[in-house]
Amino acid sequence: MNAFPILSLIVWLPALGALGVLALPRANLQAQRAVAMGAALLALAAAILLVVLFDRNQAGFQFVESFAWVPSWGISYTVSVDGISLWLVALTAFLTPIALAASHGAIERQERAFLALVLMLASGMTGVFVAQDMLLFYVFFEFTLVPTALLIGIWGGAGRRQAAIKFFVYTFAGSVFLLPGIIGLHLLHRQATGVATFDIATILASLQLGAFQLDPAAERLLFGLFFIGFAVKAPIWPFHTWMTTAHAEAPSSGAIDIAGLILKIGAYGLIRFNVQLFPAAAAWAAPAIGVLAVISIVYAAWVAYQQTDMKRLLAYASVSHLGFIVLGMFALNAQGIAGAVAHMVNSALTTGALFLVVGMLAARRDSRDLRAFGGMWKATPVLGSLTLILVLGAIGLPGLNGFASEFALLQGAWRSPGIGWRYTLLAVLGVALAAVYLLHMYRATFMGEVPPDLAQTPDVRPRELVLLTTMATVVVVLGLYPALLFGPMQQSVTQIAQGTLQYLASR
């Protein structure tokens, strides 16, 4: 199967589906929906096959596809997966048909364009997670800006245009730092080895074998360039200000992809580049980044509690979750990194599902304000029950998906020389605050007496029931069997952690 281009299939099927949607007559919505969903489901089937065929006993890159793109410059189309990127690819493929299904009936204008942009965004995000060539990574990384900005700017809320512009300007400005970092690493590697390449695996092998060594000043400079680019995209404090506006104005159905995965692109870049390629600089910067992570956790959790707009509350919750993820990855040990990767998947699932719930509630009340609700459990008991499962999963209740990943990354941070117990104890405060703001949201929405005008509110419709039940089932299964998530990534995270220790010892 390694000769079969399964990764390219997963990357380009949604894009081909988008072209198919745009080729259909504008008035034929049923055919457009069918083509879009068909492309998304085929990509999901290929992603499931990828997970099944993935060799969990192998640490390196698998399913490598490569051909020369610009040979004279060392640029190639090279894609692959390892234990770090496997679940992010699968998650993208899983959330895309859910986003498409959620848009049915919720998008009132230009639905054909909406479907095409969601599919193009899925291709771009998958490309980020599988790109082994750094310049190819950058192309996909930048491409995700376009469909995301258009989804927010066309189908978002009242402040959608300002939110779209802010999103594009902030994240593009972060990318301005990323490109010089990529080019600088390429030039230094070519100068040291005589090999012109943008291939991550080749550069990593040169570093580990000692054929390519960075002096501390150059390594820290490159680390800083990559870090700024990814920290803005993640985002962590103080680079987070664009995100809350973008999330609040994003369309509820499209927000599943935006909330669930667009933030994880930055976090993935931090692991793939900053931690894996610059271990000495990562160890040097870990205490300072730990401070930023803890501030993100506690500050965002506290601000989330102050929100009455449910979307803004969940947006700040996402910033807090990213703080945990960054804390775990810069623990620079296998437990912390594994917990961070697993938490990227788990938080994407729960946050994306809760954004979907907010969209359902807003459609029934024409409001996202907590004060406009109350007693919804009596009117919508099924919706209330499914939402409770998702809220408890986001909190990290034992037995649901968030617990194992949060526990693993906090334990890794506690054992880390660069992070340590002081930062970890402050991060635990964020766990308690998460329970406060999420349960506050749930109580204000579903508990108490139902307002007279909400007493006849319809419960979940069949399509909504299928979507929420699917996501809640995954939350429960991953909570009861976390080894399903941790197993395939173990060899890769162990390799990164051991490579970091060996490199630091050799310096």
Residue 212 is encoded by which pair of tokens?
């390519």
Which pLDDT belongs to residue 465? 92
CA distances 59 to 16, 56, 82, 84, 175, Å, are: 32, 8, 7, 10, 29
Which pLDDT belongs to residue 87? 93
Spatial separation of the C-alpha atoms in residues 505 and 459, rounded to whole Å: 60
Which pLDDT belongs to residue 252? 67
Q: Using an 8 Å Cβ cutoff, are 36 and 62 in contact? A: no
Query: Global pTM?
Result: 0.90
Maximum Cα interatomic distance, the chain, rounded to a whole number of Å: 75
Which pLDDT belongs to residue 506? 57
Which pLDDT belongs to residue 180? 92
The DSSP line for 132-196 is: -BHHHHHHHHHHTHHHHHHHHHHHS-TTHHHHHHHHHHHHHHHHHHHHHHHHHHHHHHHHHHS--
Domain ranges of the chain: 6-506
CA distances 144 to 16, 68, 230, 265, 461, Å, are: 16, 23, 14, 10, 32
Q: pLDDT of the chain along its 507 residues, tens only?
A: 456 899 999 999 999 999 999 998 888 888 999 999 999 999 999 999 999 999 888 888 999 998 888 888 888 999 999 989 999 999 999 999 998 888 877 677 788 888 999 999 999 999 999 999 999 999 999 998 888 888 888 877 777 788 888 888 888 888 889 999 999 999 998 988 888 888 898 888 888 887 788 888 999 999 999 999 898 887 888 877 777 777 777 776 666 666 667 778 888 999 999 998 898 888 889 899 999 999 999 998 899 888 888 888 988 888 888 899 999 999 888 889 999 999 999 988 998 889 888 888 888 877 888 888 888 888 888 998 999 999 999 998 898 988 999 999 999 999 888 788 888 888 888 888 888 999 999 998 888 887 777 777 888 888 889 999 999 999 999 999 999 999 899 888 888 888 777 665 555
pLDDT, tens digit (0-9, with 9 covering 90-100), for 188-212: 989 888 888 888 988 888 888 877 8
Which pLDDT belongs to residue 297? 92
Spatial separation of the C-alpha atoms in residues 404 and 383, rounded to whole Å: 26
Which pLDDT belongs to residue 80? 93
